[in-house]
Chains A and B, each alone.
Chain A
């Protein structure tokens, strides 16, 4: 059954113990006569009682220890922040300047060290390493070719002994030419 709608708010106040004196007595009289309102009040009181009697839970026994630890960490953090805030501006400026110099120097060092084989203009009178290497290779190739063709055998240096196989084949001109081609190919590969 439904409660009397006009009394609903008053019944709720009655359940909360908010009614006193005559109002309370009037409601109690009404409850004796109206089963709908009686059921309504009974339902609310049952629910209130069930909620009130829920077992309260208790915090873990380490709760306060954990809280102290959190507060200690918090205090340490705020102390560090405070210390940082207390540092004068000129110190920040100095630190920024030093950092800028360090970054610039590092950049310059990296820039120089990044391409170690990069061609640089040699100082007057100094032959660069790559240049000398190329010239030595060219001289060697020239020598070998001259030596194989036999055109400049007289001017061959002592390193001629380094090519005994080629000299052994010199009697046969066709074989010599083939061998010469092979050597040319090898030289091409070396140069490559």
Chain B
């Protein structure tokens, strides 16, 4: 299990024991224990990544399970020219995007089924009361909600850079976009978050 102060992606790759690439190679040769070691190593970081992306824990675990299932099914497709972490995060990111698209479709469908009547629907407020914000959990919840509300192109880079602490180069490999684009999106994503979370950040 990862500790709060532990680096989310770097520590397990630099820790003692076989590297990810060695494990996947053993798994490609039929060693199922190597696969389980990969699962134990990546299940929490991947769940965090997907959770911030989707904003729902159960959906996040489903997507991560599907990610491991894809790794299991397509283990022969991994070639040792890229980092294993890049490969698995790419799979998880693509599955998360698919899930987001599916949600959008569902949302559209459910909206199209709504009829017009005389009732007034009160939308829940996205702002917490000032007292509630003081609470640490509420603060975290607010930050998570604002991350989730970011456009996907900014959200994925901010999560990978500032929460998962990937290097720009790795993010560029995972998302298959140039480093310059990654940097630009990170900064734009940060600016948006700063504006939204100004009241929280000033207090801290």
Could you list which residues of chain A lie within 8 angstroms of chain B, going by C-beta atoms?
A: 12, 16, 43-44, 46-48, 50-60, 63-64, 66-67, 70-71, 74
Contact = CB atoms under 8 A, between A and B. Distances in A.
A133 B68 CA distance: 79
A152 to B, nearest CB: 82
Contacts, number: 82
User: Would you list the 4 A-B pairs with minimal beta carbon distance, nearest first?
Assistant: A51-B162, A46-B201, A59-B43, A59-B47
28 contacts: A12-B183, A12-B187, A16-B168, A43-B201, A47-B194, A48-B162, A48-B190, A50-B197, A51-B143, A51-B158, A52-B162, A52-B163, A54-B140, A54-B143, A56-B4, A56-B45, A58-B2, A58-B44, A58-B47, A59-B43, A59-B47, A59-B64, A64-B39, A64-B40, A64-B43, A67-B68, A70-B65, A71-B69
A16 to B, nearest CB: 8
Interface residues of B, number: 42
B2 A47 contact: no
Contacts of B201: 43, 46-47, 50
Interface in B147-195: 147, 158, 161-163, 165, 168, 183, 186-187, 190, 193-194
A8 to B, nearest CB: 8
Interface string B1-17: 11010001000000000
B51 interface: yes
Given A47-B194, A50-B197, A66 B140 contact: no
Nearest to A43: B194
B96 interface: no
Contacts of B2: 56, 58
Contacts of B48: 56-57
